[in-house]
């Protein structure tokens, strides 16, 4: 049995390490928040602190107007919701077939999905743009959303398949006794049990899509459909970077993610607890 003094020292070391990593995580947030509300000269003179005399909301107002916040946010919202809806539907259905229906062909398909996780996106960039152009989907909401969905499906199938395999076969047997077909079994029995994985997937992919710069840069040139993350790119050119507007724009872009997390926090927690109880 460990001595009380040893336990206190271990706890102290753990607390110091946790505080260090918390500060390390919070510093970038403090840096952009601090400089989002200062004039340009103060950003260079004193980037780590702010005084009441330096505080101004002019940067936020200018950034809001420059990035056309309302229109750009709507574009980002369309990309996120469309991509996530397609991703959850297609990947959960494919995973159900792989884990429940089974078969050699489905097993080979699953191995293919797992192998595709390791492939870098850069290999597909040029063929992807050519394919979208040939299909008439370049500069469209659907085309960009399909790209997001396709790039995320391998990882989503990997998550869903692993989780479905932990669900007892008794559920499937009971559904068959009740006369349910495969689709009814999936919709009525398995899909409600996938809440924990679905929430995890939506958080990971939703935030990634919302913050993504590369794919819209490749597939969107119509200014009417540009998302928020790509709008921030306009504050940085080859010759000059407008740091005060870039920080203010970053603050504006982060607001919807924070609000969404606070709004969904209770639901996320309940799903996580439900998954833990099931396990």
**Chain segment 23-42, per-residue pLDDT in tens:** 888 888 888 888 888 887 88
Q: Average the pLDDT over 37-56 and give the result.
A: 81
Highest mean pLDDT among 6-15, 139-148, 182-191, 229-238: 139-148
Q: In the prediction, which pLDDT does 276 show?
A: 45
DSSP 158-197: HHHHHHHTTS-THHHHHHHHTT--HHHHIIIIIHHHTHHH
Bigger pLDDT: 165 or 238?
165
Residue 195 near residue 274, CB atoms below 8 Å: yes
Q: What is the mean pLDDT of residues 38-56?
A: 80
The whole-number average pLDDT for the span 1-5 is: 58
DSSP letter at 189 equals I
Question: What are phi and psi for residue 38, nearest 5 degrees?
Answer: -130, 155
Q: Over 80: is that where the pLDDT of 6 sits?
A: no
The token pair that represents 30 in the structure block: 């403090």
Q: Is the pLDDT of residue 279 over 50?
A: no
Q: How confident is the model at residue 153 (pLDDT cuts 50, 70, 90)?
A: very high
Q: Look up the pTM and report it.
A: 0.85
From start to end of the chain, where are the E strands? none
| Mean pLDDT across 77-82 | 96
Average pLDDT over residues 221-244: 84
Residues 116, 41: Cα–Cα separation, whole Å: 48
Mean pLDDT of all residues in 10-17: 86
Domains of the chain: 4-56 (no CATH), 67-278 (1.10.3720.10)
> What was the pLDDT predicted at 195?
85
pLDDT tens digits, residue range 197-227? 898 899 889 999 999 999 999 999 888 999 9
- Comparison of pLDDT for 173 and 132, the residue scoring more: 132
How many other C-beta atoms lie within 10 A of the C-beta of residue 14? 10
Rounded mean pLDDT of 46-66?
A: 85
pLDDT band at 268 (very low <50, low <70, confident <90, very high): low
Q: Tell me the range of 66-75, 126-135, 171-180, 263-272 where mean pLDDT is highest.
A: 66-75
Residue 51 has pLDDT above 50, yes or no: yes
pLDDT score recorded for residue 95: 94
């Amino acid at each position: 049995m460990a001595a009380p003094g040893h336990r206190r020292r271990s706890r102290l070391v753990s607390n110091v390490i946790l505080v260090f990593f918390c500060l390390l995580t919070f510093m970038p947030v403090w840096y952009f928040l601090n400089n989002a509300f200062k004039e340009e000269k103060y950003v260079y003179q004193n980037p780590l602190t702010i005084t009441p005399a330096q505080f101004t909301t002019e940067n936020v107002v200018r950034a809001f107007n420059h990035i056309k916040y309302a229109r750009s946010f709507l574009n980002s919202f369309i990309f996120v919701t469309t991509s996530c809806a397609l991703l959850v539907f297609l990947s959960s259905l494919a995973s159900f077939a792989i884990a429940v229906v089974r078969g050699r062909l489905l097993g080979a398909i699953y191995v293919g999905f797992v192998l595709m996780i390791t492939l870098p996106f850069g290999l597909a960039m040029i063929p992807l743009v050519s394919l979208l152009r040939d299909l008439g989907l370049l500069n469209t909401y659907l085309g960009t959303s399909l790209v997001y969905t396709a790039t995320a499906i391998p990882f989503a199938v990997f998550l869903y398949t692993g989780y479905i395999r932990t669900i007892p076969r008794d559920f499937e047997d009971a559904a068959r006794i009740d006369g349910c077909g495969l689709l009814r079994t999936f919709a009525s029995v398995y899909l409600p049990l996938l809440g924990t994985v679905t929430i995890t997937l939506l958080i990971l992919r939703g935030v990634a899509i919302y913050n993504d710069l590369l794919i819209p840069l490749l597939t969107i040139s119509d200014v009417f459909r540009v998302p928020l993350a790509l709008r921030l790119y306009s504050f940085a050119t080859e010759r000059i970077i407008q740091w005060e507007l870039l920080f203010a724009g970053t603050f504006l872009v982060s607001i919807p993610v924070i609000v969404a997390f606070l709004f969904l926090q209770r639901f996320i927690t309940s799903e996580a607890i439900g998954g833990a109880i099931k396990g």
